[in-house]
Structure 1
Amino acid sequence: MKNLSIGFNIVLAAAIGVLFYLHFSSSKKTTPAATGATKDVPGGNFKIAYFEIDSLENQFEHYKEIREALQLKEQASARQLNEMKNTFAQKYQEVQRNAQNMTQAELASKQQELQQLDRTFQSKEQMLNNEMQDESMRKLQDVQKKIKDFLEEYNRDKGYAFILSNQSNLLYYKDKAYDITEDVIKGLNAKYKKAK
């Protein structure tokens, strides 16, 4: 779960950089917003808004579904690895119990079998971990893209120079007047329900 949050934070940081680049490299476009968001913030020449990433993670339906699916997959992988560990432990105990009655060749054969089971377990564990990381990253990138696309639509008539998440160590001060978390969650959930 910690890897999931770290991955999500990395993807969001990358999106912030892209938004920063896009804002300063293209001319300002003004078109009516398609989302119907209603948050009014104080005026000024340079506006920055933020959203609470924790609230988004807990209330964006698509993100919650992804998190639950990844948790189920992680649990299935853990069960599979535990079964392999139990098989190894049973074989090891069997060898320990019968070692006195075995010939040197039989004992060597059983030890090779145990080593092979251990190697199989380690490669399976590595494969499952890699699959989990790949799937987590793909799904988090999908969530990141949905957030980025929504924020581009949301900002068409808002005029924010930046929209940031409140990731740890990113914001040292925040004025609640610029908090657009509720709008972001409502808009993302509405788009997600339409897409479903």
Structure 2
Amino acid sequence: MKKLPLPIAVISVLISCLSFFYFQQSSKQVYVDVNKLMKGYERTKRVRAEFEKKAKILNANVDSLMTDWQREIKTYEKERAKLSKKELEMKQQLLGNKQQQINNYQKAIQKQIQEEDKKATQTVINDINDYIKEYGESKGHSIIYGASGSGNIMYASESADLTQDVLKGLNAEFKAEY
């Protein structure tokens, strides 16, 4: 009866060691390269193309207004000598007001473009984050780091890089939606 505690103790130590090594391997730290995900994700490309198309249209409106205003300036310069002092002042005031309106419109358009860009980018980021959460849960990862090239991960082995696997899954999921 006294020989039983020793084998139990040895078995306990063995189980503890095996458990330690098992959990050590399963909690391997992994990461994804966020820049590569953003660049390689098909939705990013589509969202970026739609955004650029919209921005081009908005900027074309501003350009059109500027062209009209410049044409009016040239006309004013040609007719200037024929106008009375009062007509000159009135025309200058009208041109100044129009320039101010165009400047205000241009600022509003730039603000709208920035907001649209931020909104589009956030949509893509939310997609990626949601997918990575599902991916991590399904693969049993407790943490997936995001490397962006700005120093938050200074070194990681290639085997810890999940970027291509995640990117493949993201694009497959996106293609299935469209």
TM range (shorter): 0.7 to 0.9
Name the structure 2 match of 1:74. Answer: 55
CA distance in 1, matches of 2:150, 2:74: 49
CA distance in 2, matches of 1:62, 1:129: 24
| Closer, same or farther: CA 57–162 of 1 in aligned 2, 3 Å | closer
Contact between 1:47 and 1:162, CA under 8 Å: does it hold in 2?
no
Name the structure 2 match of 1:21. Answer: none
4+ aligned runs moved over 6 Å, structure 1: none
- Identify unmatched segments of 5+ residues in structure 1: 1-42
Name the structure 2 match of 1:130. Answer: 111
- Report the secondary structure of 1:182's partner residue: helix
Residues 1:108 and 2:89 aligned together: yes
Name the structure 1 match of 2:154. Answer: 172
Contact between 2:41 and 2:171, CA under 8 Å: does it hold in 1?
yes
Residues 1:99 and 2:86 aligned together: no
**Alpha-carbon deviation of 1:66?**
0.6
Contact between 1:55 and 1:181, CA under 8 Å: does it hold in 2?
yes
CA distance in 2, matches of 1:162, 1:181: 10
CA distance in 2, matches of 1:145, 1:81: 32
CA distance in 2, matches of 1:160, 1:166: 20
**Alpha-carbon deviation of 1:53?**
2.9
Q: Of residues 124, 131, 135 in structure 2, which corresponds to 1:143?
A: 124
CA distance in 2, matches of 1:149, 1:96: 60
Name the structure 1 match of 2:13. Answer: none
What is the number of equivalent residue pairs in this alignment? 154
Contact between 1:50 and 1:166, CA under 8 Å: does it hold in 2?
no
Higher Cα Rg: structure 1 or 2? 2
**Alpha-carbon deviation of 1:161?**
2.0
CA distance in 2, matches of 1:90, 1:111: 14
TM-score, scaled to structure 1: 0.71
TM-score, scaled to structure 2: 0.78
Q: Identity over aligned residues, as a percent?
A: 21
**Alpha-carbon deviation of 1:51?**
2.0
Counterpart mapping for 1:28-39 below 5 A: none
Contact between 1:50 and 1:178, CA under 8 Å: does it hold in 2?
yes
Contact between 1:85 and 1:121, CA under 8 Å: does it hold in 2?
yes
**Alpha-carbon deviation of 1:120?**
1.5
**Alpha-carbon deviation of 1:152?**
0.8
Structure with the bigger percentage of helix: 2
CA distance in 1, matches of 2:33, 2:149: 8
- Identify unmatched segments of 5+ residues in structure 2: 1-23
Quick check: 153-162 or 184-193, which moved more?
153-162
- Report the secondary structure of 1:167's partner residue: coil
- Report the secondary structure of 1:173's partner residue: coil
CA distance in 2, matches of 1:153, 1:53: 16
Residues 1:64 and 2:64 aligned together: no
